[in-house]
Structure 1
């Protein structure tokens, strides 16, 4: 059953056929009405192996820029906890930071958020639904869970992730060295075939989830643009479920946002746009401009959608520029 949370034109849709709860995986409310032109922001992965304070810097900037709402593509916490209290502790901190902005903030599940049974249980306890959709004016937004069902990692891999994460938190200036060390440790002893399989994106989208989005799309045929948020980029996966979703979207103008790889990529083809978000606090996977900490700024009007990239490493407080003596030539 699809429940409409708001009876106005701006609506949120949740699937109560799988879970009945008053908990919601977003903060704030959609505006009751939107202007003909409006903007929203999309933030990339905060974790894993985050640099403390970067995501918070992004939130402070967005408070000033005041978008209509914010989308997040997953991995808000380092996660992978077997201890539910540790998971709650992480969520308590970052949820408070997000709520304090006063901005509507729509979360997507990432593998770090949902990587153990304890993480799954705490998500459901705190946030309820694992996927949902909303309509804002003439635009439709689908928020997928690509960990449905989730696959728990071996304990040895989780322990390795935890050790590497602790090193990065303690010494963020050497993140790239620790990332290289981490990669070498997980790949040692693997065959060429196993190494090749590591590059494949594995996603899970349940039949129930797909049916929910099919119904939402059927009920909102009149929208001008559809935006899809997911953590792992479905277009890089061998997924029959994502292929089915794409088949339904093929006659619609649509954009798919994803994260996971911490590197910004943009691909446009006919009426379809794929944007893999870079990171907003997570550890760098490379040293190019696409690997910077950033936020995507999206402007929607009646005729078009435009995208601008805000590089956080280039944003400074004006107090960083004190007066100087100037010599007149």
Structure 2
């Protein structure tokens, strides 16, 4: 079983994995941090980050849109501001690329410099596989991203659970009606993925189809004029 704390009144979704069959395996917690930008509300992200620090997870993952971006001249200073905050954490932080973080070839090329890893990458923590994909400039997933996902899942077939993280929740229309007729779902189901996380919409939603849990993370500072929960406003 994998448990989620649906604290949608706070813009952090904390996730804790319970021990698997082997003693001591997957006995940890991690934090997912929502969108900071997109008509950002001042000071909200720093408050969210303090809450994450107090939770003391094994690591954190940002869901994308860490900077306002979309401006080549201003982006370096915006990344520097975020790096100064992230460096205060005593745990590693991974970053999902959002459309405010990558908007052209130059911003894609500089993403590793600012985050310490490529836009798409995977890692194993204890016995859990995490795969971050890049759909910052597409609504769905490019063939190259799907190929990267399948290779990561094949290489780490023995891991459990397996989780996928990408910024834009293009899966909502299909999953909302119980459909798994799209490549991401089919690959995920084939390889035993249990959870898929996204951001972008600044609203919280949790859906399930075919045994896979899909979660859109709420805002961590981005505009919430439409309400905290998808379908509210």
Deviation at 1:35, TM superposition (A): 5.5
Q: How many residues are matched?
A: 199
Query: Match for residue 145 of structure 2?
Result: 209
Query: Match for residue 186 of structure 2?
Result: 247
- Summarize the alignment of residues 221-240 of structure 1 with structure 2, pairs less than 5 Å apart: 221-236=157-172
Deviation at 1:115, TM superposition (A): 1.7
SS of residue in 1 equivalent to 2:61: strand
Query: Which residue of 269, 274, 277 maps to 2:217?
Result: 277
- Summarize the alignment of residues 40-59 of structure 1 with structure 2, pairs less than 5 Å apart: 40-59=30-49
Give 4+ residue runs of structure 1 displaced > 6 Å after superposition.
none
TM-score (norm 1): 0.56
Map Cα deviations across residues 51-80 of structure 1 (whole Å, 9 max, x no partner).
Answer: 121111111121121011111110000111
- RMSD between superposed Cα atoms in Å: 2.2
Distance 1:94 1:264 in 2: 24
Larger radius of gyration: 1
SS of residue in 1 equivalent to 2:200: coil
Contact 1:82 1:116 in 2 (8 A): no
Contact 1:82 1:117 in 2 (8 A): no
- Of stretches 43-52 and 125-134 in structure 1, the one that deviates more from structure 2 is 125-134
Q: 1:249 to 1:121 in 2, by over 3 A?
A: closer
1:63 equivalent to 2:53? Answer: yes
Deviation at 1:234, TM superposition (A): 3.2
Q: 1:217 to 1:35 in 2, by over 3 A?
A: closer
Q: 1:36 to 1:136 in 2, by over 3 A?
A: closer
Query: Which residue of 52, 72, 78 maps to 1:90?
Result: 78
Query: Match for residue 123 of structure 2?
Result: 134
Deviation at 1:116, TM superposition (A): 3.5
Distance 2:113 2:212 in 1: 36
Deviation at 1:274, TM superposition (A): 0.6
TM-score (norm 2): 0.77
Map Cα deviations across residues 29-51 of structure 1 (whole Å, 9 max, x no partner).
Answer: xxxxx765221111110011111
Distance 2:226 2:95 in 1: 25
- Summarize the alignment of residues 111-190 of structure 1 with structure 2, pairs less than 5 Å apart: 111-127=99-115, 129-147=118-136, 150=137
Map Cα deviations across residues 127-162 of structure 1 (whole Å, 9 max, x no partner).
Answer: 451100011122111100003xx37xxxxxxxxxxx
Distance 2:171 2:26 in 1: 31
Choose between structure 1 and 2: higher helix proportion: 1
- Of stretches 108-117 and 120-129 in structure 1, the one that deviates more from structure 2 is 120-129
- Summarize the alignment of residues 280-319 of structure 1 with structure 2, pairs less than 5 Å apart: 280-287=220-227, 289-290=228-229
Map Cα deviations across residues 91-125 of structure 1 (whole Å, 9 max, x no partner).
Answer: 00011101111221110000011123443343254
Query: Which residue of 66, 70, 75 maps to 1:80?
Result: 70
Deviation at 1:286, TM superposition (A): 1.6
Q: 1:144 to 1:270 in 2, by over 3 A?
A: same
Unaligned runs of 5+ in 2: 1-23, 175-180
- Summarize the alignment of residues 313-328 of structure 1 with structure 2, pairs less than 5 Å apart: none
Query: Match for residue 15 of structure 1?
Result: none
Map Cα deviations across residues 236-255 of structure 1 (whole Å, 9 max, x no partner).
Answer: 378xxx93232122141411
Distance 1:116 1:36 in 2: 37
Distance 1:234 1:133 in 2: 21
1:258 equivalent to 2:171? Answer: no
